[in-house]
Structure 1
Amino acid sequence: MIDLFIAVFLLSGAAFMFLAALGILRLPDLPTRMHSSTKAGALGAMLIMVGVVIGFAEWLAFARGAAIVLFIMLTTPIAAHAIGRAGYMVGVPLWDGTIKDELRDNYDLQSHSLQSERREQEPGKDREEP
């Protein structure tokens, strides 16, 4: 019965890792690719670690697995934010289907300056129409 739990965790983790890789290949722009790789990739790695910890059934494996899961949970959102921010600041184009661009009015791509006050705009006008 324990082998069934291990198999479920390992296979579901591998499936999420596969979906993360597929998202990197198929999604249209940097923010959506980043979202796919960080969310699904982190969940997949954590599920695999849970399966490994259950499989070894030792306290040392549990401690190492818990440390790895904690490290993934702490570093993945920070790395995703840094990648997304760097991509936006160097001017990586957004997908045409992107509806909201909250930094557009507050960030100047030429001077790389960010203004904290929000400029007033018409409701529903988050992006310029092409």
Structure 2
Amino acid sequence: MTVEGVLDVVGAVLILLGAALSLTAAIGLLRLPDVLNRMHAASKPQTLGFLLLCVGLALVLRDGAATAMLVLAAGLQLVTAPVATQMMAKAAHRTGQYRADLVVDDRDRDQPADGDEPADGDEQTR
């Protein structure tokens, strides 16, 4: 088997793995029950699947211009996915769109209840 044949086979396997991970992410977005679970499905397997697709395509195409475009697309995906996930988490927290039994908010425990004065010796932190 030639080097080109090996690269084609490895590229095809990476493309199939990337497509499977992207499909898993899509199914997770539809099936998972709450925002925090969906957030992971939207970022982790989708990002890895996209990166595997890019590497597989670069191996199969073996063209400099196409590889440069794939590297650019992969880099943008790595930059934007964590930011989008963080923004989804903040929005879910601010609007209360999460399961309370899964999230422990330490900021809520440190604050006295409305109308309550901090006990002697307790420092109120903000």
Same fold (TM over 0.5): yes
Deviations 1:70-94 (A, max 9, x none): 1000110000000111121112131
Higher helix share: 2
Corresponding position: 1:75 with 2:74? no
Displacement, 1:103? 5.2
Identity %: 33
The corresponding residue for 2:16 is 11
Q: Which has the larger radius of gyration?
A: 2
Count of residues paired in the alignment: 108
Q: Report the secondary structure of 2:96's partner residue.
A: coil
Q: Is the CA contact 1:28–1:95 (under 8 Å) kept in the aligned structure 2? A: no
The correspondence for 1:53, drawn from 49, 54, 58, is: 58
Residues 15, 103 of structure 1: alpha-carbon distance in 2 compared, 3 angstrom cutoff? farther
Q: Is the CA contact 2:36–2:98 (under 8 Å) kept in the aligned structure 1? A: no
Displacement, 1:95? 6.1
Deviations 1:55-113 (A, max 9, x none): 110111111111111100011000000011112111213164x1x4235517x9xxxxx
Corresponding position: 1:102 with 2:95? no
Q: CA RMSD in A?
A: 2.2
- Which residue identity lines up with residue 23 of structure 1 in the other structure? G
Q: Is the CA contact 2:12–2:60 (under 8 Å) kept in the aligned structure 1? A: no
Bigger drift between 63-72 and 85-94 goes to 85-94
The correspondence for 2:68, drawn from 63, 67, 70, is: 63
CA distance in 1, matches of 2:107, 2:97: 13
Q: Select the structure with the greater relative contact order (CA < 8 A; seq sep ≥ 6).
A: 2
Report the TM-score, using the length of structure 2 for normalisation: 0.76
Q: Report the secondary structure of 1:5's partner residue.
A: helix
Residues 103, 63 of structure 1: alpha-carbon distance in 2 compared, 3 angstrom cutoff? farther
Which 4+ runs in 1 deviate beyond 6 A? none
